[in-house]
């Protein structure tokens, strides 16, 4: 991470859903020939969405067929 980037992380992504909260950003100005400048902190709302695409819920809609779960294997 550097002084020009903003990084936001979710602690727990085990459950699908939408998540949000407030974050306070602290800004500062720096110039080699001038005194450093502290700017007023700003509060922003951040939101994230966790999707559960890797865990589909499938069911039989009808008819004479059947379905069963099968373990996935990799080579």
The per-residue pLDDT for range 16-73, each reduced to its tens digit, is 899 899 989 888 888 889 898 888 999 999 999 998 887 777 777 888 877 776 766 6
9 with 19: CB under 8 angstroms?
no
Residue that has been written with the tokens 């996935």 in this structure: 72
Quick one: which of 44, 46, 57, 45 has its CA closest to 16?
Answer: 57
The domain segmentation of the chain, as residue ranges, is: 18-50
**Distances from the Cα of 31 to the Cα of 8, 11, 46, 50, angstroms:** 27, 35, 30, 40
Quick one: which of 38, 21, 20 has its CA closest to 29?
Answer: 38
pTM greater than the 0.85 cutoff = no
The whole-number pLDDT of residue 43 equals 95
The whole-number pLDDT of residue 75 equals 59
């Amino acid at each position: 991470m550097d002084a020009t980037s903003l990084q936001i992380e979710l602690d727990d992504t085990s459950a699908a859903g939408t998540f949000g909260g407030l974050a306070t950003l602290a800004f500062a100005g720096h110039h080699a020939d001038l005194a450093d400048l502290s700017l007023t902190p700003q509060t922003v709302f951040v939101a994230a969405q966790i999707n559960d695409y890797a865990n589909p819920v499938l069911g039989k809609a009808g008819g004479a067929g059947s379905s069963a779960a099968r373990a996935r294997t990799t080579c």
